[in-house]
């Protein structure tokens, strides 16, 4: 059995199957490239990518690299559903063979193609190597079809539509994760690829996916990123502009800080990840959180809360429960005549005194009876 496994692995790795690898689940992949070109500025090497999904995807901050880290280009904008984007690669690909790597904004490898190989065949000058969309197989293409479908920066989710911080859960129960929730007040889905959170220690947490219109989305992180004693969460868009930040104080275990319908941050004992915020708990605890601030005066800063001011947040986008006026009593009851906190020690004193009196009486009784004292 072991011999069979070894032979299978050897055959697998030597067969060239890893010459074209999708490194992580993605709806975008390399679809065509030309490495053997005229080698001029007018006719450079080029690479085409394809979006298989039904949604527009932001490629802001993505990269295309060869086998080195020095030969690279930075992508921007977006790619429409079932569409192509073509990028000139400035005559950087080797004619004899090289590697093409597609890397997303989170620095994760999306796809790696090693050409020319058994499964990624060679092409001649003014030709290309093309991936068959139906089979996924690579083949030489005598008539290159580089396609660059325009994708405007004004499309939803790329730069014009904004989302807002909605709730922060920094101090979870054991075996739970921390999370930060955002809210999309727009009437369109917002693509979150290339958005990211940053804490007060400048630790970056990238976002992926999208959030639907008028929807909430929580992003979970391993406990320890956010400080239990207080921290700052900043939200940045794909253009690396600060959209919003909130500095929360020390909170109770298993409670969160959530935004109410007036945009004010309050503490709540009812965390609601991926759903409408509910403000519950004592009024004194709820008011301990400071108001949202976006105070950095840097030119890069968008000095807004990140909320769409055209949206009426009181009309049903947010629904909240009012805070209670006092905390419920935690006492199970008190013994009449014994003050709170001292009942146990008082009873112990009475029992010890009674015991000592009994022992003393037992020792003295024979003497008292002998001398007729009793």
Residue by residue, DSSP assigns 213-248 as: TT-EEEEEE-TTSS-TT-EEEEEE-TTS-EEEEEEE
pLDDT at 95 over 60: yes
> Residue 234's pLDDT is what?
95
pLDDT at 281 over 60: yes
Tell me, yes or no, whether 121 and 174 share the same domain.
Answer: no
> Residue 333's pLDDT is what?
31
Tell me, yes or no, whether 168 and 312 share the same domain.
Answer: yes
Q: Report yes or no: 352 and 360 within 8 Å, Cβ to Cβ.
A: no
Question: What is the arithmetic mean of pLDDT over 165-187?
Answer: 91
Domain count, the chain: 2
* Interval 285-309: pLDDT, tens: 433 333 333 333 322 222 223 333 3
How many Cβ atoms from other residues are within 10 Å of residue 189's Cβ? 17
Six-digit token string for 352: 């010890």
Q: Where are the beta strands (DSSP E) in 42-170?
A: 46-51, 57-58, 63-65, 72-74, 78-79, 84-88, 98-103, 109-115, 128-131, 138-141, 164-169
User: Would residue 256 be called left, alpha or beta, if left means φ above 0 and alpha means ψ between -120 and 50 degrees?
Assistant: beta
Tell me, yes or no, whether 134 and 175 share the same domain.
Answer: no
Nearest Cα to 188, choosing from 166, 160, 167, 165? 160
> What one-character DSSP code corresponds to residue 173?
P
Helix, strand, coil % in the chain, rounded to nearest 5: 15, 30, 60
> Residue 357's pLDDT is what?
59
Q: Report yes or no: 47 and 29 within 8 Å, Cβ to Cβ.
A: no
Give dist(CA 1, CA 8) in Å, integer.
11
Give dist(CA 183, CA 169) in Å, integer.
15
Six-digit token string for 166: 């909605």
Question: What is the arithmetic mean of pLDDT over 158-171?
Answer: 81
Tell me, yes or no, whether 129 and 169 share the same domain.
Answer: no
Tell me, yes or no, whether 197 and 257 share the same domain.
Answer: yes
Indicate which CATH number applies to the domain containing 40: 2.60.40
> Residue 17's pLDDT is what?
41
pLDDT at 158 over 80: no
> Of 29-33, 234-238, 297-301, 338-342, which has the strongest mean pLDDT?
29-33
Q: Would residue 283 count as lying in a domain?
A: yes
pLDDT band at 42 (very low <50, low <70, confident <90, very high): confident
> Residue 364's pLDDT is what?
59
Q: Among 14-23, 183-192, 279-288, which is the least confidently predicted range?
A: 14-23
Q: Would residue 369 count as lying in a domain?
A: no
How many Cβ atoms from other residues are within 10 Å of residue 290's Cβ? 14
Tell me, yes or no, whether 61 and 188 share the same domain.
Answer: no
Tell me, yes or no, whether 20 and 71 share the same domain.
Answer: yes
Q: Would residue 174 count as lying in a domain?
A: yes
Domain stops at, among 141, 174, 199: 141
Tell me, yes or no, whether 169 and 292 share the same domain.
Answer: yes
pLDDT at 315 over 50: no
Tell me, yes or no, whether 102 and 230 share the same domain.
Answer: no
Domain range for residue 288?
A: 164-317
> Residue 324's pLDDT is what?
28
């Amino acid at each position: 059995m072991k011999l069979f496994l070894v032979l299978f692995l050897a055959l697998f790795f030597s067969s060239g199957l890893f010459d074209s690898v999708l490194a992580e689940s993605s709806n975008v992949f390399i679809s065509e490239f030309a490495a053997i070109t005229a080698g001029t500025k007018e006719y450079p090497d080029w690479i085409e990518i394809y979006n298989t999904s039904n949604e527009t995807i932001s490629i802001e901050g993505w990269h295309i690299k060869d086998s080195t880290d020095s030969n690279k280009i930075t992508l921007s904008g977006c790619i429409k559903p079932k569409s192509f984007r073509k990028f000139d690669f400035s005559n950087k690909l080797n004619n004899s063979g090289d590697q093409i790597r597609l890397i997303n904004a989170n620095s994760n490898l999306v796809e790696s193609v090693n050409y020319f190989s058994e499964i990624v065949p060679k092409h001649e000058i003014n030709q290309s190597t093309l991936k068959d969309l139906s089979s996924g197989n690579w083949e030489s293409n005598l008539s290159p079809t580089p396609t660059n479908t325009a994708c405007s920066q004004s499309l939803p989710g790329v730069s014009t539509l904004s989302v807002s911080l909605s709730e922060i859960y920094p101090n979870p129960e054991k075996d739970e994760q921390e999370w930060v929730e955002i809210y999309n007040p727009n009437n369109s889905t917002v693509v979150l690829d290339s958005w990211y959170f940053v804490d007060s220690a400048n630790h970056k947490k990238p976002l992926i996916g999208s959030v639907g219109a008028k929807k909430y989305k929580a992003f979970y992180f391993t406990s320890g990123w956010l400080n239990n004693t207080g921290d700052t969460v900043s939200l940045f868009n794909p253009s690396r502009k600060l959209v919003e930040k909130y500095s929360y104080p020390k909170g109770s275990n298993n409670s969160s800080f959530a935004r109410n319908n007036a945009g004010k941050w309050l503490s709540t004992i009812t965390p609601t990840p991926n759903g409408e915020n509910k403000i519950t708990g004592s009024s004194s605890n709820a008011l301990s959180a400071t108001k949202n601030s976006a105070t950095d005066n840097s030119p890069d800063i968008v000095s807004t809360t990140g909320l769409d001011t055209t949206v009426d947040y009181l009309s049903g986008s947010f629904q909240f429960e009012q805070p209670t006026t006092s905390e419920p009593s935690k006492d199970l009851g008190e013994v009449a005549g014994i003050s709170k906190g001292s009942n146990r020690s008082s009873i112990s004193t009475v029992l010890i005194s009674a015991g000592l009196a009994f022992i003393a009486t037992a020792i003295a009784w024979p003497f008292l009876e002998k001398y007729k004292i009793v």
